[in-house]
C-alpha cells in the first residue's frame, strides 16, 4: 500500500517515517508539509518524494499517515477520506467536536479504513493486559498521566498546540483509550483545574463504574509518572509499564490498517469512530472545567 506522510516535525521524523520505512506491504511514497525545506530533507532521508501540494500527494498514494497538530490533521484528513484514501490518524482527531464529527462522517461516507494511533493500544505489553482486563467487571479506575513535556530538552517543549490546549487534549486521549474499554461509555463528567495545565476529571460510566483522571504536561521531570489501576470484586490490577518504542507500536498500527483495508474491513477498536467519541468526552470535560 502506497503511503503519504503529512508532517515534518519530531514525531513525523522519529516515529512515522521510521515505521513507514520498515513496515511490510507499505511503500513510503511521499511527504507533504507546511515547511517545504523540512519535507525535502525528510523525503531525501528515505528516498521518498516531497510534494509541493497535498492534492498532488493524494494523487500518488492509497493511504495517508498524519503527524501534525490535530485541527490541521482533521482538515486534511477530511479531504483525504473524500478522495477514498485510508487514514492512519494521530490522537486526538481534532480539538473540538465539530471537526471530529465532520471527519468521522467523511470516513463513513467514503468507506475507508482508519486507525487512530493511541500509542499504548499498540504496545503489546499493554494491549495483552487490556485484552484480559476487559473481561473483568471493574468498580473504578484511577489513571494519572503526569508528564514533563515542557521541560528543557523535550521535543515537545515548543509545541504551540500543546501549550494552548494542555494535557487534557494531549495525554487525555491516551488515558481515555484505556479507561473506555475497561469501563464503557461515559454518562457524566466533572472536573477541576489545578496548577498550570493540571486537570482532575471524574467520569461516571453507564455501567455504574467511575474513573478518575489526573493529567498534566507541566510536571518537573522528577515527578513524571504514568500509571493506571483498576479495582473491583476480584481485586486490583495495574496497567504494565510501556517498554515498546513508539515507532514499533506505530508499525503495528500500520500493519493492522493494511490488513483490514486489504480485506475491505472498515472497523477497528481504535478507528475514527472511537477517536470521535474520545473527542466528545474531552469536549464535555473542557466545558465543565472550572478555573482554579
Q: Which grid coordinates belong to 92?
A: 486526538
**pLDDT tens digits, one per residue of 142-185:** 999 999 999 999 999 999 999 999 999 999 999 999 999 999 99
> Residue 55's beta-bridge partner residues?
none
251 pLDDT higher than 80:
yes
253 pLDDT higher than 70:
yes
Q: How many CA within 13 A on the CB side of residue 130?
A: 22
**pLDDT tens digits, one per residue of 198-222:** 999 999 999 999 999 999 999 999 9
Give me the pLDDT at residue 259, please: 98
**pLDDT tens digits, one per residue of 62-121:** 999 999 999 999 999 999 999 999 999 999 999 999 999 999 999 999 999 999 999 999
**pLDDT tens digits, one per residue of 176-196:** 999 999 999 999 999 999 999
**pLDDT tens digits, one per residue of 26-66:** 999 999 999 999 999 999 999 999 999 999 999 999 999 99
Mean model confidence pLDDT for the chain: 97
Domain at 124-240, CATH homologous superfamily: Dihydrodipicolinate Reductase; domain 2 (3.30.360.10)
Domain boundaries, the chain: 2-118+246-270, 124-240
| CA pair distance 20, 66, nearest whole angstrom | 12
Beta carbons within 10 angstroms of residue 287's beta carbon: 9
What percent of the chain has a predicted confidence (pLDDT) above 70? Answer: 99
Average pLDDT value for residue range 264-270: 97
Q: What is the DSSP string of the chain?
A: -EEEEE--SHHIIIIIHHHHHH-TT-EEEEEE-SSHHHHHHHHHHHT-EEPSSHHHHHHH-SEEEE-S-HHHHHHHHHHHHHTT-EEEEESSS-SSHHHHHHHHHHHHHHT--EEEE-GGGGSHHHHHHHHHHTTS-EEEEEEEEE-BTTSTT-TTTT-HHHHHHHHHHHTHHHHHHHHHHHH-SEEEEEEEE-STT-EEEEEEETTS-EEEEEEESB--GGG-EEEEEEEETTEEEEPPPP-S-HHHHHHHHHHHHHHHHHTT----TTSHHHHHHHHHHHHHHHHH-B--
Give me the pLDDT at residue 292, please: 62
| CA pair distance 80, 103, nearest whole angstrom | 10
- Phi and psi torsions of 102, nearest 5°: -65, -40
Which one, of 221, 197, 257, lies nearest residue 64 by Cα? 257
Which one, of 290, 278, 275, 276, lies nearest residue 200 by Cα? 290
Q: Which CATH architecture has domain 2-118+246-270?
A: 3-Layer(aba) Sandwich (3.40)
What percent of the chain has a predicted confidence (pLDDT) above 90? Answer: 98
Amino acid at each position: 500500500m502506497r503511503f503519504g506522510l503529512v508532517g515534518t516535525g519530531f514525531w513525523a521524523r522519529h516515529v512515522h517515517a521510521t515505521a513507514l520505512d520498515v513496515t511490510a506491504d507499505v511503500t513510503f511514497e511521499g511527504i507533504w508539509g507546511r515547511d517545504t525545506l523540512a519535507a525535502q530533507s525528510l523525503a531525501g532521508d528515505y528516498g521518498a518524494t516531497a510534494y509541493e501540494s497535498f492534492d498532488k500527494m493524494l494523487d500518488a498514494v492509497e493511504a495517508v499517515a498524519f503527524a501534525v497538530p490535530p485541527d490541521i490533521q482533521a482538515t486534511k484528513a477530511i479531504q483525504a477520506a473524500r478522495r477514498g484514501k485510508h487514514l492512519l490518524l494521530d490522537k486526538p482527531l481534532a480539538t473540538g467536536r465539530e471537526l471530529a464529527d465532520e471527519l468521522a462522517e467523511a470516513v463513513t461516507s467514503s468507506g475507508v479504513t482508519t486507525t487512530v494511533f493511541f500509542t499504548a493500544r499498540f504496545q503489546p505489553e499493554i494491549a495483552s493486559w487490556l485484552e484480559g482486563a476487559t473481561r473483568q467487571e471493574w468498580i473504578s479506575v484511577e489513571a494519572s498521566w503526569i508528564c514533563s513535556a515542557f521541560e528543557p530538552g523535550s521535543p515537545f517543549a515548543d509545541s504551540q498546540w500543546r501549550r494552548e490546549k494542555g494535557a487534557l487534549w494531549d495525554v487525555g486521549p491516551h488515558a481515555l483509550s484505556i479507561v473506555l474499554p475497561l469501563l464503557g461509555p461515559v454518562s457524566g463528567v466533572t472536573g477541576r483545574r489545578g496548577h498550570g495545565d493540571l486537570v482532575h476529571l471524574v467520569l461516571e460510566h453507564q455501567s455504574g463504574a467511575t474513573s478518575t483522571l489526573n493529567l498534566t504536561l507541566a510536571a518537573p521531570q522528577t515527578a513524571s509518572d504514568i500509571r493506571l489501576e483498576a479495582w473491583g470484586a476480584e481485586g486490583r490490577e495495574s496497567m504494565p509499564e510501556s517498554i515498546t518504542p513508539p515507532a514499533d507500536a506505530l508499525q503495528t498500527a500500520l500493519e493492522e490498517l493494511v490488513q483490514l483495508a486489504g480485506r475491505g474491513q472498515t472497523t477497528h477498536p481504535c478507528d475514527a469512530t472511537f477517536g470521535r467519541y474520545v473527542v466528545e468526552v474531552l469536549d464535555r470535560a473542557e466545558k465543565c472545567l472550572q478555573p482554579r
